[in-house]
């Protein structure tokens, strides 16, 4: 097996079975993230506190070995921010184990089926669809030879801490070389997602992935399962149902009501455009289907159309926030409509998507970006974000040194960024009854130096192992506001149990507990935009440091 692994890729790290067993608490049932025909996936945490997903293969026959080797070979040869990263493997004691980056928000399917988390609003679903399309387009067009995934489905689209899309499960994927390499009489894909022409000639191609992605688009619009025998007989297959409804102009009959399609003109218009795109992806004849590059570009254009021009010529965002029910969405929509939307003329960026902890930015993203990304966005407007309460805050496009100071004896925040860092931290601390933080020029200067240094290295996380301070870091694929960065750390608090002073399996609550640590008195933060302004690193330093083992934060 080791020889086969080296033939596949000698660069993939090998983990010991002992380390894997320890990381998963002996493959505890409490750590299980999911189970399928292939085996079981566990949440794991290594001694360096790194969270991972551990896939333990159930079968040990020739086919399972081939799929493991195939996945290692393919994932070690690609690099894209919307493809799940393979971190290593283990082949000891007769086991076949793959280790991946951890995706705390599970699968797209779980969210669409209301099995996990809040209801995803339309803007988030559209962003997930766009990112997924870009990842598949990368496999088809930027990799040589091209890679055909062959099992695109909503349960193979994972969501990171901030709901960024990651395409996973490459066990059935194949490199497309000679025409004969596409022929297979073995079962391929998942019912409901498989190219209908495959059953005629056993021929899979890039357009087979397009068909499967079309089904995913319909799932995103409807929140219905690809195959559901509880529906009427002629509606069991979602693709067939969608083709019928969309073809007759009746897409509104199957739109997920939680999307509130009539909340504004753009929402309904953009859903219809995505439905029309899905309709073309689901064409029976593969030659009638668009390529994934065309699909990705079209989704990008639909997403960008969310920047509607107002009467005074300014660009406004139609970004929505997470809602738990249609009624709560209605309330948020009404509140938002009463608020004046402000803009800051500077440089436009895409509507805010929640942050990604991934520290790798692939240059292909810029190469494959639409003309709007390459030519228009860098020179337009930076749009303020409209929150549920209607407050508006602007983000800046340079290195931001921020400080926080609340007591009257301290100086007032000098910039909007400083005020955002201050308010976000102290709101979280006030919620648990601990004292407010003050700004430390020393920590601010040190944070600024660190992010500037990391910017020169590509904007990866700073090594803080020897730092005397507490720290929180955040890597995002686009510039974010200070308040957004702090909020992403604070949100981990929902997984923290004060009674047990512990964190739910598969989550890292240390970012939250550091923000609210009772003995921490001062903070200094900085941000740096990297990769041509397309990514950002946020760093906050705390003194005294928190997260002392055996102690509670407050």
The string of pLDDT tens digits covering residues 218-229 is 999 999 999 999
Residue whose C-alpha is closest to residue 419's, from 439, 434, 398: 439
- Alpha helix stretches (DSSP H) within 282-414: 292-304, 326-337, 364-368, 371
Q: Identify the residue with better confidence: 178 or 131.
A: 131
Highest mean pLDDT among 298-312, 358-372, 461-475: 461-475
What is the per-residue pLDDT for 3? 52
386 vs 108, higher pLDDT? 108
Report pLDDT digits (tens) over 473-490: 988 766 788 988 898 899
Does 212 score more than 70 pLDDT? yes
Angle (deg, nearest 10), helices 206-222 and 292-304? 30
Measured CA to CA, the distance from residue 108 to residue 120 in angstroms comes to 9
| Partners of 90 in the β-ladder | 97
pLDDT digits (tens, 9 = 90+) for 12-62: 788 999 999 999 999 999 999 888 767 899 999 998 888 999 999 876 666
The predicted structure's pLDDT at residue 34: 83
Are 129 and 274 in contact by the 8 Å Cβ rule? The answer is yes
| pLDDT value of position 176 | 54
Q: Is 244 a catalytic residue?
A: no
The distance in angstroms from the start CA to the end CA of the chain is: 50
Residue 378 pLDDT more than 70?
no
Tens-digit pLDDT profile for residues 141-186: 988 888 888 889 999 999 998 889 999 887 656 655 433 344 444 4
Look at 509 and 411; give whichever has higher pLDDT.
509
Superfamily classification of domain 106-177+186-290: Transferase(Phosphotransferase) domain 1 (1.10.510.10)
Rounded mean pLDDT, 108-126: 92
Look at residues 515, 378, 316 and name the one whose alpha carbon lies nearest to residue 435.
Answer: 515
1-101 matches 418-543 in fold: no
Per-residue pLDDT of 72-81, as tens digits, reads 888 777 888 9
Q: How far apart are CA 347 and CA 382, in angstroms?
A: 5
Binding residues for ATP: 56
CA angle 83/88/93 to nearest 5° reads 135
* Structure confidence at residue 464 (pLDDT): 85
Residue found under tokens 């030659």: 287
Residue with tokens 């509880």: 230
> Could you tell me where the beta strands, DSSP code E, fall in 392-440?
392-393, 400-403, 438-439
Q: What homologous superfamily is domain 418-543 in, according to CATH?
A: CAP (3.40.33.10)
Catalytic one of 151, 160, 209, 297: 151
Query: pLDDT-derived band of residue 346, with 50, 70 and 90 as boundaries?
Result: very low
Average pLDDT for 363-372: 28
Give the integer Cα–Cα distance in Å for 224 and 365.
Answer: 31
Dihedrals φ, ψ of 485, to 5°?
-60, -50
Axis crossing angle, helix 292-304 with helix 265-281, rounded to the nearest 10: 180
- CA–centroid distance for 452 within its chain: 25
Q: Phi/psi class of residue 531: alpha, beta or left (left: φ > 0; alpha: ψ in -120 to 50)?
A: left
10: pLDDT strictly greater than 70: no
Residues making up the binding site:
56
The answer, yes or no, to whether residue 110 has pLDDT greater than 80, is yes
Assign a CATH topology to domain 1-101. Answer: Phosphorylase Kinase; domain 1 (3.30.200)
Q: What is the C-alpha separation between 166 and 135, in angstroms, rounded?
A: 8
Environment class of 452 (CB within 10 Å of its CB; exposed 0-12, middle 13-18, buried 19+)? middle
Say if CB 56 and CB 39 are below 8 A apart: yes
Q: Which pLDDT value is given to residue 540?
A: 95
Token pair listed for 112: 């669409």
pLDDT score recorded for residue 68: 79
Candidate ranges 290-294, 395-399, 406-410; pick with highest mean pLDDT: 290-294
Phi, then psi, of 11 in degrees rounded to 5: -95, -10
Q: What are the structural domain ranges in the chain? A: 1-101, 106-177+186-290, 418-543
Over residues 408-431, the mean pLDDT reads 75
* Nearest-angstrom CA–CA distance, 292 and 146: 12
Confidence band for 414, pLDDT divided at 50, 70 and 90? low
Is it the case that residue 4 has pLDDT exceeding 70? no
What was the pLDDT predicted at 534?
Answer: 59
Instruction: Flag whether the pTM goes above 0.85.
Output: no
């Amino acid at each position: 097996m080791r020889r086969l692994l080296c033939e596949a890729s000698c660069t993939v790290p090998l983990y010991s079975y002992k380390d894997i067993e320890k990381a998963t608490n002996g493959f505890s049932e409490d750590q299980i993230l999911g189970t399928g025909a292939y085996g079981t996936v566990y949440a794991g945490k290594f001694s360096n506190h790194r969270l991972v997903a551990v896939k333990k293969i159930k079968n040990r026959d020739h086919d399972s070995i081939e799929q493991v080797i195939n996945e290692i070979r393919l994932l070690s040869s690609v690099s894209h921010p919307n493809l799940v990263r393979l971190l290593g493997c283990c082949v000891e004691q007769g086991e076949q184990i793959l280790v991946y980056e951890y995706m705390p928000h599970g699968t797209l399917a779980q969210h669409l089926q209301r099995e996990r988390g809040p209801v995803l609003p339309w803007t988030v679903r559209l962003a997930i669809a766009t990112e997924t399309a870009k990842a598949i387009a990368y496999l088809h067009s930027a990799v040589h030879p091209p890679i055909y995934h062959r099992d695109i489905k909503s349960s193979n689209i994972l969501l990171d801490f901030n709901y960024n899309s990651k395409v996973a499960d490459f066990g059935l994927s194949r490199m497309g070389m000679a025409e004969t390499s596409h022929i297979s009489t073995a079962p391929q894909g998942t019912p409901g997602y498989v190219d209908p022409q495959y059953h005629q000639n056993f021929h899979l191609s890039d357009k087979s992935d397009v068909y499967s992605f079309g089904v995913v688009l319909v799932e995103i619009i409807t929140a219905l399962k690809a195959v559901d025998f509880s529906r009427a007989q002629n509606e069991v297959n979602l693709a067939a149902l969608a083709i019928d409804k969309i073809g007759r102009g009746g897409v509104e009959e199957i739109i997920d009501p939680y999307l509130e399609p009539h909340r504004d003109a753009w929402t309904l218009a953009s859903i219809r455009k995505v439905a029309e795109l899905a309709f073309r992806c689901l064409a029976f004849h593969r030659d009638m289907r668009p390529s994934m590059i065309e699909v990705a570009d079209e989704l990008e254009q639909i997403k960008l159309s969310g920047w509607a021009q107002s009467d005074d010529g300014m660009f406004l965002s139609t970004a929505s926030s997470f809602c738990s029910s249609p009624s709560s969405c209605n309330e948020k929509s009404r509140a938002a409509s009463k608020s004046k939307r402000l803009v800051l003329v500077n440089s436009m960026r895409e509507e805010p998507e929640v942050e990604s902890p991934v520290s790798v930015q692939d240059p292909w993203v810029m190469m494959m970006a639409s003309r709007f990304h390459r030519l228009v966005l860098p020179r337009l407007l930076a749009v303020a974000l409209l929150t549920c309460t209607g407050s508006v805050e602007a983000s800046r496009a340079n290195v931001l040194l921020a400080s926080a100071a609340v007591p009257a004896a301290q100086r007032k925040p000098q910039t909007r960024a400083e005020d955002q860092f201050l308010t976000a931290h102290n709101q979280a601390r006030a919620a648990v009854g601990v004292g407010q933080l003050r700004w430390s020029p020393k920590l601010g200067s040190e944070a600024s130096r660190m992010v500037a240094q990391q910017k020169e290295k590509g904007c990866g996380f700073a090594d803080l192992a020897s730092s005397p301070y507490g720290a929180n870091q955040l890597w995002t694929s686009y510039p974010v506001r200070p308040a957004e960065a702090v909020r992403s750390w604070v949100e981990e608090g929902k997984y923290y149990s004060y009674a047990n002073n512990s964190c739910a399996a598969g989550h890292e609550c240390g970012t939250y507990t550091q923000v609210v640590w009772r003995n921490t008195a001062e903070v200094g933060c900085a941000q740096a935009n990297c990769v041509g302004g397309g990514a950002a690193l946020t760093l906050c330093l705390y003194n005294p440091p928190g997260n002392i083992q055996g102690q509670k934060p407050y």
